Structures are given as C-alpha cells and as structure tokens.
Amino acid sequence: MFPERLRALRRGRHITLEVLAEALNEQLTSDEKPNTSSQIGNWERGIRTPSYIEVRKLAEYFNVSLDYLVGKIDHEEIDIAMLFLSGSRLTFNHEPLDNQDRYEIFQLIDGYVHGKAGRDAIIPIDHQEELDLFS
C-alpha cells in the first residue's frame, strides 16, 4: 500500500523524483544521509522500505498522516477548524489569507454548519443543481 500511496501523492503534485528528493533533503539532520531520486523510486516500486524518519518526512511534506501513507486508513480526514487554527500558511486561489481573513472565513463556515440543520428542514434541496467551482 505504501508504494502506491507515495507514487499517487507525488504524481498528484506533478513533481519528479528529483524534486521530492530535494524537498526531503531540506529536512535533513546532521546524522542523516541525503535522499536520492533512485532511492525514492525504489520506495515507490516496493524494492526498498524507508525508515520511520523518512516516512515521517514524507507525511509532513505531503501533509498527510502516517496512517494514511502506510495504508492503515483509506481516507484522510482534515478538520478545517484545526487547519484555520494552525500556524500553517493558508491561501485561496493562490492569494494568501491573513489572520483577519482566516477568522472571518472560520466564522462563515461555523455559521453555515450550525445553521444547516434548521435550513434543511425548511428549504427543499434540489439535487439537480450543482456548483461549478471551475468556471
């Protein structure tokens, strides 16, 4: 499961083995050896198994849990509230969100979620209507 997940994550970001190796090498400590593209290719093909430290760096780089990366869970669950409260740099359509933006968007989502139960009982939902996010 790990090789398939690693390959899918890397390809999903449209990055080469070389780019991933360079990104992992930015996280090196003094006693670690640098990663190479052939080493990561061996991980993706299941020929070699990375150390726990390498798997942890991969999970951090791809922003997924260790459980997801190694196949223990099928779906990664991300709590949006925790994302807004984290120190992570957030962007929307490549525009950075400052603290005020984060707070206001959090409040909008919170209001939507808490008001949803009342709305669903009053307003019938037309499942034919779809939101086109890419137009």
pLDDT interval class at 123 (50, 70, 90): low
Q: Provide the residue range defining the domain that includes 16.
A: 2-70
pLDDT at 48: 95
Q: Is residue 75 one of the residues assigned to a domain? A: no
Q: Is residue 128 one of the residues assigned to a domain? A: no
Same domain, 66 and 17: yes
Same domain, 84 and 66: no
Same domain, 10 and 61: yes
Same domain, 9 and 63: yes
Question: What digits encode the pLDDT tens for the residues 81-100?
Answer: 877 777 778 888 888 989 89
Same domain, 65 and 84: no
The average pLDDT across 104-132 equals 71
Same domain, 57 and 89: no
Which own/partner pairs from 1-7 qualify as long-range (CB within 8 Å, at least 24 positions apart)?
1/70, 1/71, 2/43, 2/46, 2/49, 2/55, 2/69, 2/70, 2/71, 3/43, 3/44, 3/45, 3/46, 5/68, 5/69, 5/70, 5/71, 6/40, 6/43, 6/44, 6/58, 6/69, 7/44
Q: Is residue 29 one of the residues assigned to a domain? A: yes
The average pLDDT across 103-132 equals 72
Same domain, 15 and 49: yes
CATH number, residue 28: 1.10.260.40
Last residue of a domain, one of 70, 89, 106: 70
pLDDT at 133: 56
Question: What digits encode the pLDDT tens for the residues 14-54?
Answer: 999 999 999 999 888 778 889 999 999 999 999 999 999 89
How many structural domains is the chain composed of? Answer: 2
pLDDT at 132: 56
Whether the pTM exceeds 0.75: the reply is no
Question: What digits encode the pLDDT tens for the residues 96-117?
Answer: 989 899 889 889 988 888 887 7
